[in-house]
Every structure is written in structure tokens, then in C-alpha cells.
Structure 1
């Protein structure tokens, strides 16, 4: 019995101890807490610690994750070294309390970090940190695309590039005024887009790039020309293929900050002659055509991406595409576009006219004439692997016009009258002629020019001028305009007399109606004869009571100078228009002399 009693006493003690530990385990909880900030900013090359503290269990297992990737595993207090990837051992260290220390931190360690602590029988605890690593921003440059803004284009881009740095914030200013995104400005990750630029956009643009450790301000002056994209891989100049001996550059960039580093590969060979992702190719050969692969490394995220582009070296068409519009039977419009040459030939189309019709090299599209096409600008898109160009043409009905009449002589001295009718129209208007109600055709009496704009009448009878009513009609598929021309006999519409300062010379000028038939002019004077020199060398002057012709001028003349006047005497001048032997109505009489001061017949 004493033995049984002793055993019972020991069992009770063991049971008490067991219950005690069971009770304590049921109420213990592993807790991990931050011993510093959970949002940490650091400069490249600095040392920092993501500090934690824990309670509730001794020597737990601590696991640090960079994103979803375990980077440190260790049992606190263990003599076994922490399990850290070999490529991170120079940077990552775990402290005795489970904190994670970074030595000479680099951009690649910027990430979200999670610490997990576990203890068998106690459970686990989790705590998250965010580490942002920055570089000082250096060598920021601003550029534009294209070089100059053109008013009326869709957009104009200001973009920056930099040698190094991580940008957290960017701000844009125009003439020192902050720019906000609106219907005119669009701010993208590393550029400012001006939508539909106009002349008021000219001025100084500034970009301010900042992070917690540095800031850089850069300016650029933008010039806007009045009147008038962004792939990951870009070619400068941007062309789908190039002509042999051309020079170009390939640039590779990716969205994100800072500007990613770039390595180019061609035909399995790394190309070392690159700078800031730009590969310069000078005097390219056809053998340089092929697949170029760009490997982009973002120094902030340490992620790599690859992208390829196919560079073709071919022949290119010369010059620019040319547009024209013609008439088919003066009923339909034929739009024509040509950009010949090149390999292959350019693909040409008129999208406003047809979504399905196109051609190469030389392309024509015939459509019915309609009011909708009158004064409507139609654009030809010339799509060639080297580049895309366009040209535009506007078809228009004939505009109102003025006719012109010219009078000349043929080799036999006969009067030749030519009427000109030209209307601004596209396609060019065809001119038809009629007299009274009858159509005029080329023959003996009438000759119509090959372009139909001139009607020529040979051996014109001026005596019948009152009966000469002609009509010219300019017509193209979009409409017509007519003008009636009533030819007039020789006449002067206006004349003016200008004496010189001392009264010895006068200048007589005159005009004629636009439809007047005139082959020449008689300049007549009444009064003392002009000063002349006789056979003895003595200057003499006679007199006459009637008008006499002192000069004869051709039909093209509109002024003459008359010399040898005596300032103290009175003279009368007039102009007689002539059509060969037919005289027209004289001009008004101009009187000059003492007290008259260049009077016309109204003075007397």
C-alpha cells in the first residue's frame, strides 16, 4: 500500500504539470510587430533595416518574402546560417530578432516584403513592408516630336529622357504656369501631349521631376508653325523600310521610370554600339535588313522584356504623290493619284470616295459628279513600305469670271479681235461660244483655241459692233457659268492730263472700256504749234485754230508725253480712239494754260 500511495502521489504531480502546460499553450499567441516604419524610402547604396519585434514564443522560424519569392529563411537563435539566395547574400542580412537588413541597397530590391514567423504549436504571424529604392535623377533632356509643332495637327509631344534616376512625381509648366490635364493637354508617364496645338502654345515648357532624394527642372522652347506616336520600338526617321545608303537610328524605350537600359541583338550577335537604347545605322545596306531584338531592363523593377522589329531595306519612290481631277465626258469626275517607282509600288486610295477601291503606282477612280463633291477636298492616301504620304485635290464648279478683249492686226493689217473667257474650276472648265442664239464653231470667220478659252475673229468689221453680242459658257461636271460680251467700237472711258512743274511738258493718260475694239490712238492738239527749230537754227512756233494730230499711238498704249509747250499759252488736247480707219468718239478735251490749270471741257 505505501508503494501504491507513492505512485498515486507522483501521478497527481505529473497530471498537474501536464495540465499547467496544456493550459498555457492554449492561451499563448505568436505576435510580430513593426519596430519602425513599414513604408520605407531609401537611396541607392544606403543601408537600412526593416525592423520587427516578436513575442509569444521563443526562437520561431522567420521567413522573409520579396513579393512572392522567399529570400530569407532562418530559425531565430539557430547556429545554422540563414538560407539566402547566393545572388542576394551581399545585400540581405537577417538580425537576431528577425529584422531584415539591406547593405548597399540597389534598385532591384525595391518591392513589397512580407515577414512570416511560425512556431510549432503556437501558430504563425505575418507583417508586410513596402521598400522603395531611389536613384538621384541626373541628365534630364527634353525633346519634341516632331521637331516643330504645326497648328491644326492632331498632337504635339514633349517628352523627356534621362541618364539615370527614378521619378516619383512629374509636373509640367507652360511659361511658369502649372499645366493640368484637360481637353488641350494630356499628361502621360514621361511626356506632355498638346492636343490640336495652336499658335498660343508657343513658349517655354518646363518639366519638374522629383523623388524623395532629388529633383531636376528642365526647360525647352517650343516653336509653333502656323496654318497645319508611340510604339515601344521606334525608327528615326520613321519608315517601314529604307533605301540603301540611308542613315537611320533605332531606339528602344519602355514605359516606366527611369528610362530602361537597352541591349540590341541582330542575327544572334549583340550590338555594342548603342547609347541610351539608340542604335545608329549609317549608310545601310540590304544585308542589314532583318530582325532586330531589343532587350529592355527596368532598373527599378529588374524585369526584362524583349521586343523585335523587322528592318527592311528597299527602293523608295522618288518625289511626292501628285493628285489631279479630270472630267469624263463632262459628266463624271475622275480623281487621279500617282506616285510611280519604288519597290514595291505604293498603294493608292481615296478613302472619302471608296473604302474598297485602290491601286498601285498610278490610280484613277471615276465617280458621278454631285453637289457633295463641289469644293470638297479629297485626299489620296499613298501607302508605301518606306513612308506614307498624301496629296489632296478639290473639285469645284466654274467660278464667276470676267471676260477680256484684245485687238491686234494680222500680217495683212486686218483687225483681229480675241475674246478670253477663263473661269477658275477643277477640273478645268470647257468653254463653249455662241452668238445671239446660235453656237459658234471654228471656221473661216471664227477660230477657237485648242483649250477653248479664246474666240478669235479675223478681219473684224467694226461697223457692225452694235450687233456683236457673244456669250461664253464655262462648264465642267459640277456646273457652269456664262457671261455675255457686247463688243464696242473704239472709245475712251477716262483720260487725265498731268502738266510738269514748269508747264513745258504734259503727260496725257487714258483708259478704254474692257470690250472696246481699238487698234490705235490719235493724240490731237488745238492751239499754238509746239516749239520747233527751223533751218536757220531759230526756234519758232506757229498756230492753228483746229485740232491736228501730233502723235499716233498703238492700241496697247495708255499714256504719252507731249513736249515743247509754252507755259504762257493755252493748249487743248484730246484722244481719238481708232479701229483701223474707223474713228471712235473723242475723249474729253483737256485744256492747259494760264488760269486754266489743267481744265477739261467743263471749264469753258
Structure 2
């Protein structure tokens, strides 16, 4: 037929009719091919002899040839073993592979003629082998959002995919979604348990795979029973509790009471014998699906009348990122449980055992007593709490030094607040976060400055702001280097020992003190460290001094490896003794008193001759005689008292100095 058409066209052209170049497929433009077979995209043309033919594969030219030309077609090198051009311009594929699956376009051109073209779709298929189904997730669970099947093949693609459930074909809809290689079940339920199949077909083969799916569910709402059926049990009664619920697989049953599990039979029954009031309360049946871990709980209350133990407890805590308040009232136990309420916060809200409420008008509650009323059939009582914003406070500083001479400074900012305040830390106006250098305690009330260096920017202004929903309070502390704010010295009576006392500013960072001395027992004229005291000390004793020698003392504060400003120098001088005139004057006073007493006694005794006379103590007489003679003979030259002076001890060893004292201070 095509040959006849070509002859007619040629006849018209020879007889003078105008003929245009044309091209037409001689077979269907959609061609199916099996991998490894030969296939031809056939075309014919008319209206011009020896047109130029160009074949395109997905828009890329792969073959160029002039029809009826005896030269070889120009075929792309990577396709030369597969693509061949026939005499009429048709394209033949030999041993075609999946690589050639796609769209092909042929164009014919002739000088002076219009360019013409035709398009073909080549679909190359392989034999379908080893179809398998996979599921995501592995188990189908009732209530999940989706459950999906995905098929795969070892070889071959399908032109048509059909899904079946229990032999019934599935279509796209609200419950099933089919897309590509996936079948998705939306919100699977136990009714989706069954046999699923996927059937794959192409023009040359087909494949089928089956998968049985069990949708896990439950536990459903359990059914609880009490036997015998009573509203209230009395001490000494016996009863049974049972719990059952549907589920796949069958759920396990556990009974809980007061936060502890209680023995139950394999069927989930609890036998309570000779019950007491302590067994009154809420019993909880906990059912767990052993495969999905899904839980279902249900409570049942057993009443054995008693008054709740203790007293109701009130508390308040911050909520909503420290912006709100939650008041709690707890009075557990008792049967029936007490009814708890905060009448100052809400008229209608109440609860039992453990009740909480979150009010809206927070500022008005600052400093107000909030009462929780606890009503029980046998007693009515209450508890209260006063919420407060943070009050003014002063930071407290602690300094420690480790064995490797690393100094750590801790700043404590603790304020009275209800609920407990959260502390935010700043350094020189910039917020501090918990990191390597700065560490904040769990309750945020303490800032630890690690590897503190008094010669760096660690000496700065630190700010702590305590915040709770009812307000905030800010306090600043300026850390200072090691300093001595005050010092003093006390000499012992025998002038062989001194006591040094000192103090430091409250915000001074000190880890230890060097006690330095200058005196005759030390070589040279410079101060020498004789003691190294830990940072928490404020006093020390230095003994073994020579009374007739002069000494100088001072305290040098330390902070890690940094030396601070020294204290003032304290001097101890030898005792020069009292002047003779001063001693004589002092001695004259007691002598005059004693003479006056003797005169009065003589007058009195002269009037009392009958009274016996007692001898005066020789010790008194000796004292009187010595003192009086000294005063009468030469009151200005009384000999000084006789002091027992020890011989000089210039080479007396100084106190033991422990150079390995671990220093720490608390300010």
C-alpha cells in the first residue's frame, strides 16, 4: 500500500504537479521492545529524493545520513554497535537495552524544501523477576498515622501495578493511597488485618507477591470489677479485684497501689484479705501491649474509712518559664479523700489529694496569705502559703585554690523568695552562660569563676539578678585583688610571743597570707616570710621572741600567684622599764593607806583592852616594813620590782613554717 502511495506521488511530480517533502511513520509511534531484541522505528518519505535524515535521542542527534547515499551513516560512537539506518531512513536497534528507553525524533531536510519530522516513544522492558514487598514500619499498629507497603523487583519494570486486599482490588481513596511503588494505608485499624498482594505486568512478563499483615491494637479500655460489690469496706473484710481488656497480642496486667506493684494472678486478679485502713485508696490497673508498649490505665477506689494522716501542705512554684504561679495543696490518704480548694483564688475549682491551681492576677498576690481549705467528712482544716518576690540580699564570696594552684571564686546570691528565685548572672553588664570559664549551679544561685586571675579582667563588676513571677532583685559585687583592710598586734606579758590579727575587704580575693618578720634572729635587714597561712585565717601566733630585741611584722595577702598590697608594719620594741620617781610615787600610795589603817587600829585597840591581841602576819609585816621604809627613806628611789629575765636566745629556732599549706578563704 505504501509502495502504491509512493508511485502516485512520483507520478504527480513527473507530470508537473508541485510536491512537498513529507515524512510519515509506517508503524505505531509507541513501540514496546524486550531487552536484547531488535526493533525498528519505521518511517517513509516522499516529495524529494535523497533528503538528509537526522535521528535525535531525547533531543541529542545520534545518526545523520543522506537517503540513498552509498556512504555510511554518521552514527554517534557510543551507539554505533546498536543503531543502524535503513535505506528509507528508518532507525533499527539491535540487541536493545534499557538504556535506549526514551523519546526519539527523526527530521528530514532537503535544500529548498521544508523540514519535516516525526516522533516515536521506545519502551524497553525486561522480564519481571523476584517481586518482594516491604513494610514501613515493620509492624502495623492501630492508631498510627500511616502504614505503607513498598514493592521491589530484582529485574524488570512494570507497566501496570495492581494492589489487592483479601482478593479485592484496591483503588486510590481516603483510606488507601497508591503512588509509584507504594501502597499506603491511612490510619490503619484492626480491620486492615489480612492478605495483601501486588501484581506487576509489562508487555513481556508479570509477577505477583503476597504478604499477610496483622494490625496490632489495644489494650482497649479495661473493665474493672470488685467482688463483693460494696461502697465501703470495713477493716477485716476480704475482696477481689479483677481487670481485663481486649488487645492483640493480649495485654499484660499489673496492679499498682501507692506507687508500688502488688501481687496479682496470671489472669490479673488481686486477692485482698483482712484489709486495713492503710489499704484504702486508689488501685490502678496497668495494661501493656507487649509488642507495641501501648499502655492503658484505669483506677478503682477502695474505701476503708479513715482521716487523712498529718496536715495539708501548701506550696507555690513557678510555671510558664518563670512567668506564672502554680499553687499546690497536698493532703493525700484518707477515705474519702479530703476536698481541697483555694477559695481566695477560685470559688468553683477544687480537687482531692493533690490539687493545684494557676491564677491569672499574679502581682496582687505578693505578700498575701493564700489559704487552702481541706474538707473531710470527719474534720475540716487548712494550710497557707505567702508568695513573695525576691528581697534585698548581699552576695557572698568563697575562694578556693587547688593543689595545682588553680584559683576558683564562687559568688553566692541567695535571697528569700517564694517560689524560689531563678538567678541570672552578668559581668560588666553582659550575660554569662554556663561554660568552661563560668559555671552556674543547678539552682542558679552560685557562679563559679574557674582559673581566676586577679591580674586579668576577672576583677570586674558581677551582677546577679534574682527573678520569680512576683518580681526581681539585683545586687552588684565588685571583686577586688588581695588586700588587707585592717591589722593589729598584741604582745604577750612575757614579751616572747605576739599575736597578729588582720581582716580583708568583703570582696577581696585572697587564697593565703605570707607572715613576714624582720628582726635580730633573721639574717639581713629585709623582711622574711616565716609563715604561710591559708586564706580563711585571720590570726596567727609567733613565739620564741627575745624580750630585749626589736621586731617588725607585716602580712602580705596572696591570690594564687599574685601578691597583694602589704599591711602596715607593726613594731615590737624592748621594755625600757619604769622610772624610779614613777615607781616611788606608785609605792607611796599603798604605804599611806597602810599607815592610816594601823593608826585607826591602834586607837580602836586602846579602847578595847579586854580583847585579845593577835599577832600580825609576818608576811604583812614584811610588806609593810619594806614598803614604808622605802617610802620614808627615799620615796623617789624605791628599787624597781625584781623581774626574772631569761638569758638572751638569739639563736632560738623560729616557728615551723609549712610551705605546702593549701590556701583557701571564705569571705
Normalised by the shorter chain, which TM-score bucket?
Answer: 0.3 to 0.5
Larger radius of gyration between Structure 1 and Structure 2: 2
TM-score, structure 2 normalization: 0.40
Q: Which has the higher strand share?
A: 1
